Structure 1
């Protein structure tokens, strides 16, 4: 350890990520010869080739694969310590946060969250993206996103992310017609559905519930989101399963009817971020602010 140059950690970590000397040089704003020299020093000090050239780029040796996680953790510890020193003042910050979230946050929380944001952090801006079929480890690690409001089950988020419990809610059936009988799986199987998502965990959970009863849904329409869903239901006999709080809102706004589904059909969501940024004071503030607004709406 007394002989190892700690400045080489970032070179090895970046090489592990991109498997290319030229790309490592580009990312670290170094010359290729500097990176090659650094790799040579690492090989000498660790007594291992570490990376071997192949037709698919620089491939790590078993020794490199073994030490890479420890090197990454060491770098993250240093980065967190530096970020924590910077502090975060919401009243003066001009930071832009980017969050991936589903319909619950977008439909029910966002108006209240933005009203709060413009009062206590008037120069902070927010970008909201819809959820996609990703475990979000890469997007959060690379800083493409600051936080994800994602689903616990069916399993979505990478287990390597840090999470905080956010909300749990049941699902409801939303439609225009009156239903005067129990919502048994057999009755629900007779209905024609709108699938209000290109990719949605609430829909996947509903499909799993139907499958457990040996039934598949009759999907007549698939939409990219919830935006046009209420008007479709108003003008047709199609139905939709969706988060109960949103179903209740749409029922009130569009004179539709909302019926709770099976008690065991429950959505659980968490706030998630990458451990690399766990000590970021701005991210800590964002997480606390989202939780505070959620608690206010729950009262």
Structure 2
């Protein structure tokens, strides 16, 4: 390593973000600088540490042993510096025009987004919100590459660099056409197994419903798989199929008059609705803010008994105040 009496913090920020994102392009976007500027910073870092630091691999830039050894201490140092500076220069929701990118299912849009967008725009009227369809197979990479700021979904994400906040539990119920000739309000397991079923794509994160049906011997009865929740009601209305869906969806589509709910004769674990963000060593005040306001906004959700985690704390505080 070359001796130097001064170290440019911006160079170290480039190093940390390239290490985390494995991409010059993504690091440049996060830092709001050009890609050539990131490349130039990397060349200076290579000279400073007398090491190539990164080389191209099948999944993006891969760190050298030297870079892997540097990362823990450099990222921790930057985190401490940013924590101190953040107290002086806070994120101001009222004046920001920041663009937030959220990943959600269409069910999340129907059931949760109205509460989220209302709270966000009340506190930050000039922000922009881009909502992207949830695809579980892409969630981790899109968070890591800074293509989205946050995601709301059901399945557990095992990667340790993803921060998950449990928002609420969402129970499941059965739904069918309002005029279904065989399904009562409380059908037996035999009656459920005798019917054909509609499910949604595993990309939406509700694959455990399909697994539970398979455990109950209903696998062969699943004959329609839909790409989204949006057309479940229309499909049930014109067929004799039935479906197991989150109660939030059932309440919405039942109100339209073409379908009705029924009690399930078996147990199924509720969906754990979770808010996901990327665990970066360099803090992002805008992402920290939107994560908190999303959790808080769901205290207004019409099913408070489902609420958990940060949202439950908000409900408890509201009850205490009242």
| Structure 2 length-normalised TM | 0.72
Q: In 1, are the aligned partners of 2:101 and 2:131 still within 8 Å (CA)?
A: yes
Partner of 1:40: 47
Of 37, 58, 64, 1:29 maps to 37
- After TM superposition, the structure 1 stretch with the greater mean CA deviation from structure 2, 156-165 or 23-32, is 23-32
Partner of 1:195: 199
Partner of 1:123: 126
Deviation at 1:41, TM superposition (A): 3.2
Distance 2:88 2:280 in 1: 15
SS across alignment from 2:252: helix
Calculate the aligned-residue CA RMSD, in Å. Answer: 3.7
Of 243, 248, 257, 1:240 maps to 243
Partner of 1:219: 222
Q: 1:103 to 1:84 in 2, by over 3 A?
A: farther
Deviation at 1:241, TM superposition (A): 1.7
Deviation at 1:62, TM superposition (A): 3.5
Q: Deviations over 1:167-207 (max 9, x none)?
A: 101111211125235442x54333222233361222x1112
SS across alignment from 1:205: helix
Q: 1:115 to 1:209 in 2, by over 3 A?
A: same
Distance 2:55 2:123 in 1: 53
Partner of 2:278: 274
Partner of 2:71: 68
Distance 2:175 2:275 in 1: 27
Partner of 1:165: 166
Distance 1:251 1:192 in 2: 20
Q: In 1, are the aligned partners of 2:106 and 2:230 still within 8 Å (CA)?
A: no
Q: Pairwise mapping of residues 1-299 of structure 1 onto structure 2 (< 5 A)? A: 6-7=7-8, 9-10=12-13, 12-13=15-16, 16=19, 18=22, 27=35, 29=37, 35-36=42-43, 38-43=45-50, 49=51, 51=53, 60-79=63-82, 82=85, 85-134=88-137, 136-151=139-154, 153=155, 155-156=156-157, 158-176=159-177, 177=180, 179-180=183-184, 182-184=187-189, 186-197=190-201, 199-202=203-206, 204-261=207-264, 262-276=266-280, 279-297=283-301, 298-299=303-304
- After TM superposition, the structure 1 stretch with the greater mean CA deviation from structure 2, 94-103 or 173-182, is 173-182
Q: 1:189 to 1:196 in 2, by over 3 A?
A: same
Gaps of 5+ in 2: 305-322
Q: Deviations over 1:149-171 (max 9, x none)?
A: 122x4x33523222222010111
Q: Deviations over 1:111-147 (max 9, x none)?
A: 2333344444322221111210236343224432111
Partner of 1:46: none
Partner of 2:307: none
Q: Deviations over 1:11-59 (max 9, x none)?
A: 6546656589xx9997361666x7445423312xxxxx56597998986
Q: In 2, are the aligned partners of 1:100 and 1:145 still within 8 Å (CA)?
A: yes
- After TM superposition, the structure 1 stretch with the greater mean CA deviation from structure 2, 282-291 or 247-256, is 282-291
| Structure 1 length-normalised TM | 0.77
Distance 1:189 1:70 in 2: 57
